[in-house]
Amino acid sequence: MARDEHDSRYLTAELPGTGGLFKETPEDFLVEEIPLYLPCGEGEHTYAVIEKRGITTLEAIRRLCRATGAPERDTGYAGMKDARGITRQTVSLPRVTPAEVMGLDIPGIRILSAERHRNKLRLGHLAGNRFRLRLRETVPDAADRARAILDVLARRGVPNRFGEQRYGIQGNSHLVGRAMLAGDWRGAVDLLMGDPAKVEGERWRAAIEAYRQGDLAGSLGLFPGHCRTERDVLQRLAKRPDDFERAFHGVHPRLKKLYLSACQSALFDRVLETRLQTIDHVMEGDLAWKHDNGACFLVTDAKAEAPRAERFEISPTGPLFGCRMTSPEGEPAALEKSILDATGLTPAAFNLAGGLRMEGERRPLRVPLGGPELSCEEEDLVLRFSLPRGSYATAVLREVMKRPGNGD
C-alpha cells in the first residue's frame, strides 16, 4: 500500500509532547455514548441518560442509588467513564419511574432523559463514543498538520492503544497485575504502596517512605484517608508482617481485576508497537478481526485478504492474554510468545482462583475513525470524531499532537 509524506507522523511510536497545548477545563472534553439500542418505553427498568462532571461512573451510580433507593447491584451501565470533562452516558435503574428520575437534583449529575425498558443495561451494550476535544494555544501550523494526520487515521485506522491512562495515577497498575500473575505478593504490595516521587502531598510521600523503611505503623498513620486500599493492606500486614499474600487480599476484587486487566493492556500495547508500521495489513497466521460483527478468522492467504484489509473490512488482532485465548499461527504467534515470555509468564498464569480467572480474547490492532471534523476557533483547535466501544480518544490525540522534528 502506498505511503504519503504524512504517514511517518502516524507510524512513529513517539509519545506526544503536549508542551501545555492541552490545558484542560471541563468544557474542553466531552464524551457521549452512542447507544447500541434505544429503550422501548415499557418495563421495570428506567434508562436515564445522564450528564456528569468531575465524578466517575461508579460514583454517579452511587449518588443515583442513594437518591432513588435503587440497589447498586441491580443498576446497569454500558461503559465506564472517568471523571475528566463532561461525559454523557446511559444508566438503568430498577423499579424507579422516569418521572422520579427526571425530578432528581444531584450534585455533579444532570438528567437529560428517562424512559422505560424491559432489561437491565449490561456492560458493553454501546456502539461506541463520540468525542469533542478542544486543544488550546496551538502552534501556527497546527491545523494543517492535524488535518493531514486525521486523513491518514481515517484511511489507515487509529492504533487501538490502551495508553497511559490505563495504568493508573502512578503508571504502575500493569506492574501490580504482573506481580499478581507471578505470585510475587511482596512485589505486588510494594508496587501498590507506590513511589514517593510520583505522588503529590508531603504526607502521602512520607507514608510511602515510612513503608519502605519498614515502619508499618508510621506508614498507616500517615497515609491520607483517600488511600483506603493502601490502609486496608497495611492493617493486615501490621498483624502478620511477613504474610504479603494475606495482606494483598485486603484489595477489593474489582480493583484486583483492574490490575490484571492493566497487565493485559500493557502486553497488547507492546505487541501493537511492534506491528505499527503494517497496522493496516494482515499476515499469514494472523487472527483477523471482522469489523462488521467482531468475529475472528485465521488468515491462510494474506495476499487474498489484502483487499479486504484495504477496504477496512478486516484488521489484524493482538492478544489480551489469558488461559483460554486462541493464539495465531506462524510469525504473529512467535511475536506474541516472545513478548509474553519476556515477562516470565505463561498462559496458565492467568488461570487464577477467587473469581480472578482471565480467559483472554483478541482485540483489533486498529479501529476506524468515525466522522472526523476539525475546526479553528481563534487559537484553538476543536476536534470531533467517534470511535468504537473499548477504544480511547487519547489514541487519536497522541497522533494529532505529535511535534515535528522528533522523527514524527
Residues 299 and 350 both lie in one domain: yes
333: in domain: yes
Q: List CB contacts of 83: < 8 A, sequence separation 6 or more.
A: 54, 55, 56, 59
Are the C-beta atoms of 365 and 318 separated by less than 8 Å? yes
Q: pLDDT digit string (tens) for 202-219?
A: 999 999 999 999 999 999
CA-nearest of 405, 407, 404, 400 to 143 is: 400
Residues 211 and 334 both lie in one domain: no
**Cα distance between residue 333 and residue 336, in whole Å:** 5
Average pLDDT over residues 268-275: 97
Residues 350 and 384 both lie in one domain: no
Catalytic residue, candidates 82, 144, 215, 269: 82
Q: List CB contacts of 225: < 8 A, sequence separation 6 or more.
A: none
356: in domain: yes
Residues 192 and 208 both lie in one domain: yes
Average pLDDT over residues 260-288: 97
Q: Average pLDDT of the chain?
A: 90
pLDDT for the residue 15: 34
| Known catalytic residue at 82 | yes
407: in domain: no
Residues 280 and 362 both lie in one domain: yes
Residues 354 and 294 both lie in one domain: yes
Residues 12 and 153 both lie in one domain: yes
pLDDT for the residue 26: 58
Average pLDDT over residues 155-170: 91
Residues 101 and 147 both lie in one domain: no
pLDDT for the residue 378: 79
408: in domain: no
pLDDT for the residue 169: 84
167: in domain: no
The amino acid at 341: D
Q: What is the 3-state secondary structure (H, E, C) of 376-405?
A: EECCEEEEEEEEECCCCHHHHHHHHCCCCC
- The tally of domains found in the chain comes to 4
Residues 46 and 120 both lie in one domain: yes
CATH number at residue 325: 3.30.2350.20
State the residue range of the domain holding 336: 275-367
Are the C-beta atoms of 223 and 210 separated by less than 8 Å? no
32: in domain: no
Domain boundary among 237, 252, 267: 252
Residues 374 and 362 both lie in one domain: no
Q: What is the 3-state secondary structure (H, E, C) of 68-118?
A: HCCCHHHCEECCCCCCCCEEEEEEEEECCCHHHHHCCCECCEEEEEEEEEC
223: in domain: yes
pLDDT for the residue 142: 87
41: in domain: yes
Q: pLDDT digit string (tens) for 232-261?
A: 999 999 999 999 999 999 998 989 999 999
CATH number at residue 213: 1.10.1510
Q: pLDDT digit string (tens) for 106-130?
A: 999 999 999 999 999 998 899 999 9
Residues 42 and 119 both lie in one domain: yes
Residues 228 and 342 both lie in one domain: no
**Cα distance between residue 240 and residue 236, in whole Å:** 7
pLDDT for the residue 24: 52
Q: pLDDT digit string (tens) for 36-74?
A: 999 999 999 999 999 999 898 989 999 999 999 999 999
